[in-house]
Chain A
């Protein structure tokens, strides 16, 4: 591995992994809250929650700056109480990537939960289970493939996050410069060799993710 390529690669994996975990947690939670019934309120809620997927990443970055910046509602509170600032940190990049990837999990998880046979959940209720237990013992185990498919898409999206990450975390080599940002940086600096190397690494990484996805999602009867 050429010098200088390992750092952005590891940083990309770290950011994408943390972002996927965060997005999966909240995606599953909101998918569960939206439930299987359709109504105007739920459809509007789902549309609003899907916005990060369709908004330009720079719009997302702008709002993240507004909320998480030093003068932002959450940013100033974090600074005052914990001395934490998220701007120009890898944690900030995680939040940007997590929000960009969140709708992918939400949509696939909700579809997967809706696909679970209703009578199975009803059977669990007649057997004395509360709703959270029904969810963890019946719905989730039967829907995990869909959730996992969403998580892998989210991971791919998080790895490629550029716009919002640039705005909130900048492109600091070794600190917040992920592969996508490093490629842009190399091209702008006229370093074609470095750009080509990083592009190849990105490509390989994407193929590995797709192979893992295909392997995990293979249908196998229990």
Chain B
């Protein structure tokens, strides 16, 4: 079982507003849910795990691998963490087609990988995206965009998948369906996930371990 251990602090200041993140939790669940109101520090925590935000103090470990440790001066670069990230607005590359977005991680060099090879086509098919492989993200529906973001992240075969409010941009019926798809995906790929949400329905539907965040700190569940 892959265990995620996070214990970090970060002090942020902008425009006379200040925020102190001081989170500490561990989880070995398949799905870990970071739950809390907006402004609680959920996204910052996720960014710290992915290496997109550098904590002031603390350590982050996943599956026995040390990803960050301020005391030992360890800070594994984002590209080497093997952690997938599904951004809240999906952050699909607007200049690339669906096929190219999904194939993006297949080449890590300066040139884009071919998006028409068998492996990529199979991935597109499994996410029901084959029909829109040549479309650009701007032409897709919200549900399709989310599937592209998931397929793109999983094409890199991450050890851990982080999802920032994956259902926030979707309407209620679609939300219910995609929760089911995400659960099925987690089981079929057996990749552990950390999911951010402020929607209690997500928590009851996805199950897993819930970490409650408030004002930058982990609170005991009620």
By a beta-carbon cutoff of 8 Å, the part of chain A in contact with chain B is 117, 119-120, 122-130, 132-133, 136-138, 141-142, 221-222
Is A222's CB under 8 angstroms from B108's CB?
no
A222-B95 contact, Cβ under 8 Å, with A124-B104, A126-B83: yes
A128 engages B108 (CB within 8 Å): yes
- Flag if A136 contacts B110 (CB, 8 Å): yes
Interface positions, chain B 146-186, Cβ under 8 Å from A, are: 152-153, 156
Taking a contact as CB atoms under 8 Å apart, the answer to whether B136 and A222 are in contact is: yes
User: Can you list 18 A-B contacts with CB-CB less than 8 angstroms, sorted by A residue number?
Assistant: A122-B52, A122-B78, A122-B91, A123-B85, A124-B104, A125-B79, A126-B50, A126-B52, A126-B79, A126-B84, A127-B104, A127-B156, A128-B156, A137-B110, A138-B93, A141-B95, A142-B95, A222-B136
The distance in angstroms between the C-alpha atoms of A125 and B93, with both chains bound, is 13
A222 touches B78 (CB 8 A): no
Which residues of B, 70-118, contact A by the 8 Å Cβ criterion?
77-81, 83-85, 87, 89, 91, 93-95, 104-105, 108-112
Contacts of A126 in B (CB 8 A): 50, 52, 78-79, 81, 83-85, 153, 156
- Enumerate chain A residues within 8 angstroms of B111, measured Cβ to Cβ: 137
Partner of A125 from the list B78, B94, B153 (CB cut-off 8 Å) is B78
Closest residue of chain A to B104 (Cβ to Cβ) is: A127
Q: Is the CB of B91 within 8 A of A132?
A: no
Report chain B residues within 8 Å CB of A127. Answer: 79, 104-105, 108, 152-153, 156
Give the shortest distance, in Å, between B169 (CB) and chain A (any CB): 14
Assess whether B138 is interfacial by the CB under 8 Å rule: yes
Within 8 A of A (CB), among B113-149: 136, 138
Q: Which residues of the other chain, A, contact B84 by a CB distance below 8 angstroms?
A: 126
Count of CB-CB pairs between chains A and B under 8 Å: 68
Say yes or no: B105 contacts A128, CB within 8 Å. Answer: yes
CA of A114 to CA of B124 in the docked complex: distance in angstroms? Answer: 32
Taking a contact as CB atoms under 8 Å apart, the answer to whether A222 and B138 are in contact is yes
Q: How far is the CA of A33 from the CA of B108 in the complex (A)?
A: 22
- Determine whether the beta carbon of B108 is less than 8 Å from that of A123: no
Query: Contact: A128 with B87, CB < 8 Å?
Result: no
Q: For residue B110, which residues in chain A have a CB less than 8 angstroms away from its CB?
A: 132-133, 136-137
Do A129 and B108 touch across chains, with their CB atoms under 8 A apart? yes
- B94 CB contact (under 8 Å) in A124, A132, A136, A142: A142
- A130-B79, A133-B110, A137-B112 known; A125 and B136 CB under 8 Å? no
- Distance between Cα atoms of A132 and B109 in the complex (Å): 9
The CA of A141 and the CA of B110, in the complex, are separated in Å by 12
Least CB distance from B86 to A in Å reads 9
For residue A51, give the distance in angstroms from its CB to the closest CB of chain B: 32
B contact residues around A136 at 8 Å (CB): 110
Residues of A within 8 A of B87 (CB): 119, 122-123
Q: Which B residues are CB-close (under 8 A) to A119?
A: 87, 89, 91
Please give, as numbers and ranges, the residues of chain A lying within 8 Å of B78 by CB-CB distance. Answer: 122, 125-126
What residues on B are CB-neighbors of A142 within 8 Å?
94-95
Task: Find chain B residues with CB under 8 A from A138 CB.
Answer: 93
- Nearest CB of B to A112, in Å: 13
Q: Which 3 interchain pairs have the tightest Cβ spacing?
A: A127-B105, A125-B78, A126-B85
Determine how close the nearest CB of chain B comes to the CB of A160; give it in whole angstroms: 33
Closest to A125 in B: B78
Chain B residue at minimal CB-CB distance from A123: B91
Question: B93 contacts A120, CB within 8 Å?
Answer: yes
Report whether B95 and A128 are in contact in the complex, using a CB–CB cutoff of 8 Å. no
Does B85 lie within 8 Å of A222, measured CB to CB? no
Known: A122-B85, A125-B79, A222-B138. A130 touches B108 (CB 8 A): yes
Complex CA gap A127/B87 in Å reads: 12
